């Protein structure tokens, strides 16, 4: 494609964009639990959250993540979800063990974390929105973790242009911190309530979002991040590119949609 940045140059840009003190994926520790879920240890650090490109991700503001955390390298799969929760709600469930679980409400995802915590004897939870964006950016400051233009998106994200259903996790290239499908495939629930103006009053250190949702979707909205395989009809209320590192979306926490799943945090044990 004319004007597309060569792959070697994109890789160089990624390496150079990582903040001082933030390692690349091959330098970050990994861990695997008894369920076979692999996690990468995300280092504490600071970044600028938001872009100001849309009404709900402004203003860009400084955020510090004060503690390391383990984040799932991939989205939770159907096999993993069923092993813990005892059922598989996914829209496409036949012969799809390695595809991300979908059609899970926010409450289903939170319950999975509670059950997994009990099973493993340590704390699992949904990432905060700030943790999610920090990990997605992986030390980069551009619109996407691979640069400022969307041309290479197909190398990293399953989108309507490349698939017609959720795809097996971990097949495409990861971000600089080794996270697969952090963009595309399925939207990912995070812990925070949604508010259009959440960033205006955000805490600078370890923010967890507003105490309640300011929109009026049933009992309120929870944030979901990262974009998905499904087209924009009914899935994107925003004007910005939903696959960017900063784009925000929300649904009522009771919603079960075939394009929403999640990944989990495993807290670092002191």
pLDDT in tens, 152-201: 999 999 999 999 999 999 999 999 999 999 999 999 999 999 988 899 98
pLDDT in tens, 86-132: 999 999 998 999 999 999 999 999 999 999 999 999 999 999 999 99
pLDDT in the model for residue 135: 98
Q: Tell whether 6 is covered by a domain.
A: no
Please give the model's pTM, rounded to 2 decimal places: 0.90
Q: Tell whether 4 is covered by a domain.
A: no
Q: Tell whether 2 is covered by a domain.
A: no
Q: Tell whether 200 is covered by a domain.
A: yes
Q: Which CATH number is 203's domain given?
A: 3.90.1580.10
Q: Tell whether 3 is covered by a domain.
A: no
Q: Tell whether 131 is covered by a domain.
A: yes
* pLDDT confidence band for 19 (50 / 70 / 90): very low
Q: Tell whether 33 is covered by a domain.
A: yes
Most confident of 29-33, 219-223, 247-251: 29-33
pLDDT in the model for residue 215: 60
pLDDT in tens, 260-270: 999 999 999 97
d(CA 140, CA 30) in angstroms, rounded, equals 21
Total structural domains in the chain?
1
Which two three-digit tokens encode residue 82? Answer: 């069923």
Q: Tell whether 97 is covered by a domain.
A: yes
Burial of 87 (0-12, 13-18, 19+ CB in 10 A): exposed
Domain of residue 191 covers 23-266
pLDDT in the model for residue 83: 98
């Amino acid at each position: 494609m004319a004007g597309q940045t060569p792959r070697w140059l994109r890789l160089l840009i990624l390496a150079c964009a990582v903040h001082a003190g933030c390692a690349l994926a091959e330098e970050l520790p990994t861990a695997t639990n008894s369920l076979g879920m692999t996690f990468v240890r995300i280092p504490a650090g600071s970044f600028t959250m938001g872009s100001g490109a849309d009404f709900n991700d402004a203003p860009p503001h400084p955020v510090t993540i004060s503690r390391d955390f383990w984040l799932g390298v991939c989205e939770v799969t159907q096999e993993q979800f069923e092993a813990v929760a005892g059922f598989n709600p996914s829209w496409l469930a036949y012969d799809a063990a390695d595809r991300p679980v979908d059609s899970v409400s926010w409450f289903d995802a939170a319950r999975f974390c509670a059950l997994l915590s009990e099973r493993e004897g340590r704390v699992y939870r949904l990432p905060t929105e700030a943790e999610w964006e920090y990990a997605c950016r992986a030390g980069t400051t551009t619109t996407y973790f691979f640069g400022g233009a969307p041309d290479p998106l197909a190398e990293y994200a399953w989108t309507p242009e490349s698939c017609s259903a959720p795809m097996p996790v971990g097949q495409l290239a990861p971000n600089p911190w080794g996270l697969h499908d952090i963009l595309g495939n399925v939207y990912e629930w995070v812990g925070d309530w949604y508010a259009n103006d959440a960033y205006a009053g955000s805490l600078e250190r370890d923010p967890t979002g507003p105490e309640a949702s300011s929109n009026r979707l049933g009992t309120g909205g929870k944030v979901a991040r990262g974009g998905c395989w499904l087209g924009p009809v009914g899935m994107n209320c925003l004007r910005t590119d939903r696959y960017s590192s900063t784009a925000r979306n929300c649904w009522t926490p009771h919603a079960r949609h075939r394009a929403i799943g999640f990944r989990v945090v495993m807290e670092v044990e002191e």
